Amino acid sequence: MLDETGLWRDLTELPASLEATLTARDGFVEVAAVLGGREVRRIVCSGNGAAYYVAMALWLAALEGRGGPEVVAVPSGLLARGGFRWRDGDVFLAVSSSGEFRDLVEATEGRPPVPSAAITSTSGSTIASRVGARALVTVLEQRAVTHTQAFCGNVAAALAVWAEVTSDAGLADALRRLPEDVDKALAASRAWVDDIGAVDAANAIAFGSGPAWAAALEAALLLKEVAGIPTEGVETREGATSAMMALRPGDLVLSLPTRPDDGLLAEAEEICAAQGTRVARAPLAAVCDPRLAAVTTFPAAAVLSGAIGLGHGLDVDRPAWTDAYYRVARGTA
């Protein structure tokens, strides 16, 4: 039963953890000062896996609004291996919940080549100690290996800092409502997944429009790491074209709406359904700022992944890949 898992208990605390992060605003103003400095032309935001999707969420949010420096999202492996060219006017924003991810530790070794800041859940971590400012995310408890509170808190912190940099009152207001919106999304997601029932898909894709592309990337990661289903996360138009090409009858399609009238999303669902797939549109519990999609759609993706994983007899709290992942991510068993 999902209710008995650490994953579900982590999810139930998600609204409270977001409230704690957004109320405390620990280091937000200091990080905004680094990112919004007069000489800053480009924010290079980097992380790995879910943390990289936080960087994508920030980049996509920056495309939606006005003002502020250019934002670019870069996988951390490029920075650690010298595959990225820094420019005058760059600042570096590292995203790592543990503050110990190996690639970012290597990227910050010595002194980063440009002014730097971090978003992390661990104030005393290696990365936090090496940057000029850090924004702290509250994780009330992490029972499952999958990051729930940390991922959503990282996105919220990144967008709160961006609202500070750009003086975006609309985004700041939407963030204040976010814990309540996520609470509604959790309740709606449980009922939705119960209605879906058993899922036995060999492959899956997830898609969303605009800022929901970052949400689709995270949803695909959840389906891989929790449910064990090979999944591709794409932007809606990619879902209607290239991503649907390998779909077969019985495969799963997860559609992530941010508003009720997205015609392109409906078209992508129709095209995928014509391949014989099972199309599951996540519930739209509340119409929120689409820039928050990576957080507001997270409950649906996590609950669906957990239910499928349990149905397949998997350990959704400590999946089989856990030790192998940490050997690569932190160089430890």
- The CATH number covering residue 129 comes to 3.40.50.10490
Instruction: Say if CB 329 and CB 102 are below 8 A apart.
Output: yes
Same domain? For 133 and 204 the reply is: no
Is the model's pLDDT at 332 over the cut of 60?
no
Regarding whether 239 and 155 lie in a shared domain, the answer is no
Q: Which of 114, 141, 176 is the last residue of a domain?
A: 176
pLDDT digits (tens, 9 = 90+) for 143-168: 999 999 999 999 999 999 999 999 99
Strands annotated E in 24-64 = 42-47
- Residue 327 CB coordination number (10 Å): 12
- Which of 152, 176, 200 corresponds to the end of one domain? 176
> 170 and 206 share a domain?
no
> Does residue 27 sit within a domain?
yes
Hunting for tokens 């980063």 — which residue is that? 112
Of the pLDDT bands very low, low, confident and very high (cuts 50, 70, 90), residue 18 is very high
Which pLDDT score is estimated for 110? 63
Q: Could you list the residue range(s) of the whole structural domain that residue 294 is in?
A: 177-311
Arithmetic mean of pLDDT over the chain: 94
Q: pTM for this one?
A: 0.96
Burial (CB count <10 Å: 0-12, 13-18, 19+), residue 323: exposed
How far lies 192's CA from each of 12, 133, 189, 288, in Å? 16, 41, 5, 19
141, 176, 211: which is the final residue of a domain?
176
Q: Would you say residue 278 lies in a domain?
A: yes
pLDDT in tens, 194-222: 999 899 999 999 999 999 999 999 999 99
The model's confidence at residue 241, banded by pLDDT at 50, 70 and 90, is very high
327 found inside a domain: no
Q: Whose CA is closest to 92, among 143, 35, 177, 16? A: 35
Per-residue pLDDT tens digits for 106-143: 888 766 678 999 999 999 999 999 999 999 999 999 99
Same domain flag for 6 and 154: yes
Residue 241 resides in a domain: yes
Q: Does residue 134 share a domain with residue 53?
A: yes
Residues 161 and 185 in one domain: no
Q: Edge-to-edge strands of the sheet including 231-235?
A: 231-235, 204-208, 252-256, 278-281
Q: Is residue 48 part of a domain?
A: yes
Residues 158 and 260 in one domain: no
> For residue 290, is it within any domain?
yes
Same domain membership, residue 269 and residue 190: yes
Residues 164 and 183 in one domain: no
Residues 325, 330: Cα–Cα separation, whole Å:
8
Q: Considering the domain boundaries, does residue 92 fall inside one?
A: yes
Do 201 and 243 share a domain, yes or no? yes
| Within-domain flag for 64 | yes
Tokens for 290, please give them: 């689409």
Burial 104-136 (b: 16+ CB within 10 A, else e): bbebbeeebebbbbbbbbbeebbbbebbebbbb
Tell me the one-letter amino acid at 269: E
Tally of structural domains, the chain: 2
Q: Name which of 316, 307, 301 is nearest 219 in CA terms.
A: 301
Shared domain for 256 and 148, answered yes or no, is: no
Q: Which residues contact 314 (CB under 8 A, 6 or more apart)?
A: 226, 227, 228, 320
CA 50 – CA 95 distance, rounded (Å): 9
For the ranges 97-101, 255-259, 270-274, 294-298, which has the lowest average pLDDT? 97-101
64 token code pair: 């939606």
Both 63 and 154 in one domain: the answer is yes
